[in-house]
Structure 1
């Protein structure tokens, strides 16, 4: 004979606790309602350690803000511009010698501040890329040996290239005082090509060429006369 318990609800609950299937009463009795499923706890985001931040994330703390964007910073931009200008200047110096003044003007076109410009010029001078004295000596050598120029024109050339006055005077002081010899040497190379002219015209032209090369008027005239005399040319007859 089957025995029906009137406490089926309590017995079923106890059996459920032991992992057994609950007893279902056949006649009447209260059926225990199933317990609601537990919802998973929401994931808590650690905004201090997460690498990214999304504007839709909400934090309960008032001081939580998106990390600032890195826009390069003015210091980094300034360093980048300085490096680029230094490379451009170095490229220019590989093709043409510049004075410190010319290099400064070159950097000025790159809109650098004074501190960056001075730093680059100091580095270039330290490594020998900029040397006003060496440049002045080179210019004097070219002017004397290749162009036959006089002291006055050489001084003007040095000034135009931005060579400081004290450096130019020091280099020019090393030149021997032989303007007449150098003027005569140049005049001799030109006198032969003037043999078709009358002597007065040849003398005027030759003296003018020497004057334009920086020789004083008296030196130019003396050298022109001597060169024409030495050339032995048959000067054309001048008709009046």
Structure 2
């Protein structure tokens, strides 16, 4: 912690130290870093200097950040393209970089993950009810499609995956 004799000057960790601590938690986009440092009370000039220094040491790279975000959130959180696009936009990533990162998502893998989510949510009790009560299909369909849509899967994919799962379960 730094202290100064001038009461008008900032006390506490430097912007550089704050930036390194933020990066110690997880990778950050340039905009995220700018916003977090501003929230900590650093002025725009100081933030620009820190971002330039981070660039010099290759510690902030939006292209790499976006690619890693898509890999991580797509795999660990089972997010679909729609949700990933929204998350990256919220992190200040530009459209071309987002589309480049999303181009790496294999549609077959994305569909398989969506199918796995539906399989986890479809309980044996629901499968039995589905076989006994055809009206149950509509309720399950709406619920399962809604869950996939909230996770960011395209509507057409969600509908297809849920229909396939319900058809397989009804047999």
TM-score range relative to shorter protein? 0.7 to 0.9
Residues paired across the two proteins, number: 158
Equivalent-residue separation in structure 1 for 2:49 and 2:137 (angstroms):
60
CA-based RMSD = 2.6
Contact 1:82-1:112 within 8 A present in 2 as well = no
Structure-2 change in CA distance of 1:145 and 1:112 (3 Å): closer
Within the candidate set 60, 70, 73, 1:143 is matched to 73
2:133 corresponding residue in structure 1: none
Equivalent-residue separation in structure 2 for 1:125 and 1:216 (angstroms):
35
Q: Does 1:195 align with 2:127?
A: yes
The TM-score normalised by the length of structure 2 is: 0.77
Equivalent-residue separation in structure 2 for 1:111 and 1:90 (angstroms):
16
Equivalent-residue separation in structure 1 for 2:98 and 2:159 (angstroms):
27
Q: Which has the higher helix share?
A: 2
State which structure, 1 or 2, has the greater radius of gyration over its C-alpha atoms: 1
Within a 5 Å distance, the mapping from 1:146-157 to structure 2 comes to 146-157=76-87
Equivalent-residue separation in structure 2 for 1:225 and 1:176 (angstroms):
21
Contact 1:81-1:112 within 8 A present in 2 as well = no
If asked which structure has higher relative contact order (CA below 8 Å, sep 6+), I would say 2
Any unmatched runs of 5+ in structure 2?
Answer: 130-135
Structure 1 residue 209 displacement after superposition: 0.8
Within a 5 Å distance, the mapping from 1:139-218 to structure 2 comes to 139-178=69-108, 179-192=110-123, 194-195=126-127, 197=129, 198-218=136-156
Structure 1 residue 82 displacement after superposition: 10
Any unmatched runs of 5+ in structure 1?
Answer: 1-70, 234-240
Instruction: Describe the SS at the equivalent of 1:94.
Output: helix
Q: CA offsets, 1:147-200, max 9 Å, x none?
A: 222211110011112222221111112222335444223222222353365222
Structure-2 change in CA distance of 1:82 and 1:131 (3 Å): farther
Structure 1 residue 81 displacement after superposition: 6.5
The TM-score normalised by the length of structure 1 is: 0.57
